[in-house]
Structure formats: structure tokens, C-alpha cells
Amino acid sequence: MDKQTVKSVAWENGTLYLLDQTQLPTDVVVEEQQSVKQVWDSIKKLKVRGAPAIGVAGAYGLAVAMRDKISLDRESFLAEMQDNASYLDSSRPTAVNLSWALNRVVKTVRAHSAKSGRELYDVLVAEAEAIHAEDVELCRRIGEHGVSLISDGMGILTHCNAGRLATSDYGTATAPMYLAHERGVSFTVYSDESRPLLQGSRLTAWELQAAGVDVYTITDNMAAAMMQQGLINIVIVGTDRVAANGDVANKIGTLGVAILASYFKIPFYVATPFSTIDLATTSGSQIVIEERGEDEVTHFGMRRTAPEGIKVRNPAFDVTPNALVTGFITDRGIIRPPYRDTLKAAFGN
């Protein structure tokens, strides 16, 4: 399968396909999703992951849940759809795109006057397809707005995977990189491996390498040294949820990178589509941070790397305070502080 064209999420003739990202970088495996339970599991196990991609997968997951319910009348169809939306939403809590996409689909279907399950199902699928197509466009625009931040000779640090694989295409943090690369700008990316699940080395390094971008993979604890050596000129990361005051939830370790960037006076940018900006959450302290299983920390691959019975913490995300964010690269332009005002002005419609 062609590395550059394989998509994280695909909907073809009423069937949902998800790339199993847990098998990268060694195996490219695409799985047909047979049931809503399977979609829930694929999100929970990070087969599909990254905030925009789980939003799109969740929307199509609702279609998978409802495709054999088309004989229901309107009220029964709507009730079933609501139950399944709540179920899918329970798979992961931090990335707002999941609940955003599910709520959007549910709202659109409810607002439609159709009486039959058949017609309501078509409305549901059309909205999921709209979210999917829109996500490609949003990422493309993030690239357009962010590309001028990248110039010849730059070193760029990124954390986790906010790339094509985390979205429907282009990525968020990577969109300006892909566009700069297309335009012949020569730069180097340092991709933090992003313990414990290595989205940086398994996914970001994989997709940037496939696109011909100059990329190094580094362990998380090397970022400070790279900055000290003057190799990093800008940090660009993605996000799972931006609060109204500009606090940023992203993959665990992002906070440390932001503090380092501040110490070394390196600009720290967060790339995000409007669908990840949650103005209903006033500050980062309100964001629910997913705690994941112990095995991700006590094992490296199949091998145990911590003693039996050891106590473990495994928060999957952290919150970077708005004061450390130089700017948000969004589909509507680059947003600068004071974020409580500027985010509301740009996204509070």
C-alpha cells in the first residue's frame, strides 16, 4: 500500500475503514469496521487516534451503528442514535473533536423533518461525509496560514503525531511543513518519540519520511539538548482541546516542551482547526485528562521494563498554560494573545 496515500479514515460504499495505527511503522493494515463496538474499540485502543481523526471516525461510527436500523420510525431511530452517540463518546474523553462531531451529526439529523429511518440515515451519512471533507479543507488552510513561519534552514520540533494520520489529510502541525516542503523550502524536523506510545517515532517520523521531509526522530529527553545546541528555531504541535483562555491540552510531554521553548526563547505554536477549540471550557483546569492502562508504562513493546506491582501513573495528556503559547495556527489565521479575547473574536459565532 502506498504510504503517502493511505488514509487514517475512509468511507466507501457505506463501509468504514480505519488504518490500524498501532501496527505502524512496520505494517500498514486497514480494518473494515463491522460494528459500533469495533469502532469504539478502535478509538479506545488508538488504532485511530489524533483529535480530528477520532471526530471523523466517531461520526462514521454512528453511521455504522445505525445502518441496520433504517426500518425504525423517526422517534425510535433518534433514540437509538442518541444512545450510540453517547456510547461512542465514552471511548476517549480529552479530544473535544469526538463529542463535537457526534453532537453535530445528532443535531443535524434531529433538525431534519424526515419521518423514516431510511431518510434519517441518509442525512446522518451526509453530515459525517461533510465533517470528513471539511477536515481536509481545515487542515489545508492551517497549512496556508502557517507556511510563512517556516523558512530555509530552520529546525522544527514537534511532539506526538499531529500529522496526516491524526486527521483526514495534511495534519495540523504538519500542514505548514508539507506546504513549505512542496514549495521547496529546506528545513529539518525533530520528532519527539512521545512516550509511552511513541506516536512521534512510529507515526510522525514515518509519514514525514514518506513525504521526503528531512526528519530526525529523537527521544523525549533529547529535546532540551537539541534546543541548547541551537538546532530548533520553532516548535509546532497539535492539540486535543483548546480552552477559551488559550490553555492547551495535548499529548503528555507537551508541557515540558513548552517550558523548554520558553527557557530557550523559541517560539511555541499550536496548530488547530476550529473544531478543537472549546469555548465552553473556560480554562485548562476543566479539561478531563484521560488516564490510560499501566501496561503502556511498565512495558516497552512486549518486554516488562518496571518491577511487578510497581505503582504507575499514565496521564495521556497534559495542559500547557496559555502564557507559553506564542500563537495558534488555525484555519482562520494565526491567533495571538490575549487569547480570551482573540479566540472568542475568531471562533465565538
The window from 6-14, 30-38, 60-68, 159-167 that contacts ligand MRU (CB under 6 A) reads: 159-167
Task: Name the minimum Å distance from CB 249 to ligand MRU.
Answer: 8
192 binds ligand MRU (CB under 6 A): no
Cell of 314: 499514565
Task: Name the minimum Å distance from CB 162 to ligand MRU.
Answer: 4
Cell of 183: 514549495
Closer residue to ligand MRU in complex, CB, 127/135 = 135
261 binds ligand MRU (CB under 6 A): no
Residues ≥6 apart with Cβ < 8 Å to 26: none
> Binding-site residue total for ligand MRU (CB under 6 A)?
19
240, 278, 318, 331: the catalytic one is: 240
State the Cα–Cα distance between residues 175 and 197, nearest whole angstrom.
23
162 binds ligand MRU (CB under 6 A): yes
The window from 32-40, 126-134, 162-170, 224-232 that contacts ligand MRU (CB under 6 A) reads: 162-170
Task: Name the minimum Å distance from CB 185 to ligand MRU.
Answer: 21
Closer residue to ligand MRU in complex, CB, 50/176 = 50
Residues ≥6 apart with Cβ < 8 Å to 111: none
For ligand MRU, the binding residue among 51, 57, 105, 261 (CB under 6 A) is 51
Query: One symbol per residue from 285 to 324: x for binding ligand MRU (CB under 6 A), - otherwise; what is it?
Result: -------------------------------x--------
330 binds ligand MRU (CB under 6 A): no
SS3 content of the chain, % helix, strand, coil (to 5): 45, 20, 35
For ligand MRU, the binding residue among 95, 157, 227, 248 (CB under 6 A) is 95
Residues ≥6 apart with Cβ < 8 Å to 21: 8, 46, 47, 48, 49, 165, 202, 203
Backbone angles phi, psi at 192, to 5 degrees: -60, 140
The CA-CA-CA angle for residues 110, 114, 119, to 5°, reads 100
Sign of the alpha-carbon torsion through 319, 292, 300, 30: negative
Pairing status of strand 299-300 against strand 303-304? antiparallel
Closer residue to ligand MRU in complex, CB, 61/171 = 171
Cell of 38: 469495533
The residue among 94, 99, 107 whose CA lies nearest residue 61 is 99
Pairing status of strand 15-19 against strand 30-33? antiparallel
Residue pair 9/48 in contact (Cβ under 8 Å)? The answer is yes
239 binds ligand MRU (CB under 6 A): yes
State the Cα–Cα distance between residues 62 and 35, nearest whole angstrom.
10
Residue facing ligand MRU at closest CB distance = 238
| Residue 331 is a catalytic residue | no
For ligand MRU, the binding residue among 135, 192, 220, 240 (CB under 6 A) is 240
The residue among 81, 99, 100 whose CA lies nearest residue 90 is 99
For ligand MRU, the binding residue among 167, 217, 281, 320 (CB under 6 A) is 167
Task: Name the minimum Å distance from CB 174 to ligand MRU.
Answer: 8
135 binds ligand MRU (CB under 6 A): no
The window from 6-14, 116-124, 216-224, 235-243 that contacts ligand MRU (CB under 6 A) reads: 235-243
Closer residue to ligand MRU in complex, CB, 72/138 = 138
Amino acid identity at 107: K
Indicate the Cα dihedral angle 322, 175, 349, 49, nearest 10°. Answer: -80
Angle, helix 96-111 to helix 117-146, in steps of 10 degrees: 140
- The set of catalytic residues is 240
Residue ranges in contact with ligand MRU by CB under 6 A? 46, 49-52, 95, 160, 162, 166-167, 171-172, 199, 238-240, 250-251, 316
